[in-house]
Amino acid sequence: MDNTHYISTELLSLETLAEIVSCDKSLALSEEAKINIQKCRDYLDKKMASHSDPIYGINTGFGSLCNVKISNDNLSKLQENLVKSHSCGTGEEVPTEIVKLMLLFKIQSLSYGHSGIQLQTVERLIAFYNNDILPVIYTQGSLGASGDLAPLAHLSLPLLGEGEVYFEGKKVHSSTIMKRFDWEPIVLQSKEGLALLNGTQFMSAYGAHILLKANKFSYLADLIGAISLEGFDGRIEPFNELIHFIRPHKGQIVTASRIKGFLDGSEIIEQPKVHVQDPYSFRCMPQVHGASKDAIDYAKKVFKTEINSVTDNPNIFIESDQIISGGNFHGQPLALALDFMAIALAELGSISERRTYQLISGTRNLPAFLVDNPGLNSGLMIPQYTAASIA
């Protein structure tokens, strides 16, 4: 069975991403992607041979130096200097599972044929991915508004035989990897440094990684909430679909249905109740968990769009014979989605802590702090304090 994922113009879904990660699939370019990359590079080479006007980042300086024209003889050195000068991240190292996602997303973005990258450069990135050669990247240095310049510079530095990578569990200089695989450093051509450094793959990798976990957390929140409802001798009526169909938020309906399904056949939930209704933290699980589900769904749409996009600058459009400088590297869509997701996941923790408090409070015939001989033993008093401090 072929355990390879072929990079193509087909949308990369989060489900496919989860499969690539969990099955440790190798990457390869589809023939379509190879053609797109090569056509764009050929176009740019032809354009630069006959074009003397300044084109941002290709034959000019970068950022505030955009008005400084660079001669054609120095275009390769310009791109190499760009990668080296931007490799100035600091702080903690980015976890290797995030780095691997960054490689995947950068390869995906470059494969569409709007970036002017060399085919061999993308193939080398794929070789890094497939051989678990993971560049050492630092968490601090990205501004978001300028894309992920410093992290992506560290991602790209080993292409030049510079910087450090993790390989076979050890941190080594990338020159060691060049010798091990009998590789020559990539000689960057015009535009390539910008293609590698401009983008949102650092932000996207963190967001996608969190989303893959968020689905699991959301499911477990419902499962644990259902068990807590049983333990608290709660009522099933708040999960009746009639309530939720008259306020039909998708997440709310899904949550109520799932919790009701978990409790199907429970003798505890069906036994007669003395109390008329339950505290909010039990009764409002569909509304609270559901709102978090809807927020996670929103973030999924944003990140699915992003990981299937071209986010470098400038962008090359062969059909219309244009090279356009814009701002697709800007991280604002991701920043808002990440903030929203942080709120959503925090709320799952907050309502969970409130249920824990109810369970240890000594009501509904449960022993105080869920322990025999309270006083001599503190029981689950302090875990609830810990949960409150985290929430």
Token pair listed for 32: 């379509």
Residue 187: CA count within 13 A, CB half-sphere: 4
φ and ψ of 375, to 5 deg: 115, -65
Token pair listed for 378: 């503190």
164-167/134-135 β-pairing: antiparallel
CA dist 365 to 164, 215, 387, Å?
A: 60, 34, 23
Query: Which residues does 50 contact at the CB level (< 8 Å), separation at least 6?
Result: none
Instruction: Name the one residue in this structure whose structure tokens are 């960057």.
Output: 188
- Residues marked active site are found at 56
Residue 138: DSSP 8-state? E
Token pair listed for 23: 């099955």
Closest CA to 134 of 91, 179, 176, 103: 103
CB 231 within 8 A of CB 361: no
Token pair listed for 48: 């630069």
φ and ψ of 231, to 5 deg: -60, -30
How many other C-beta atoms lie within 10 A of the C-beta of residue 66? 13
Token pair listed for 79: 């791109």
Q: Could you give the CA distance from residue 260 to residue 359 in angstroms, rounded to a whole number?
A: 20
In DSSP terms, which residues pair with 4 in a beta bridge?
A: 26
CB 368 within 8 A of CB 361: yes
4-7/26-29 β-pairing: parallel
CB 147 within 8 A of CB 311: yes
Q: Could you give the CA distance from residue 57 to residue 376 in angstroms, rounded to a whole number?
A: 71
Token pair listed for 312: 């470098």
CB 208 within 8 A of CB 241: no
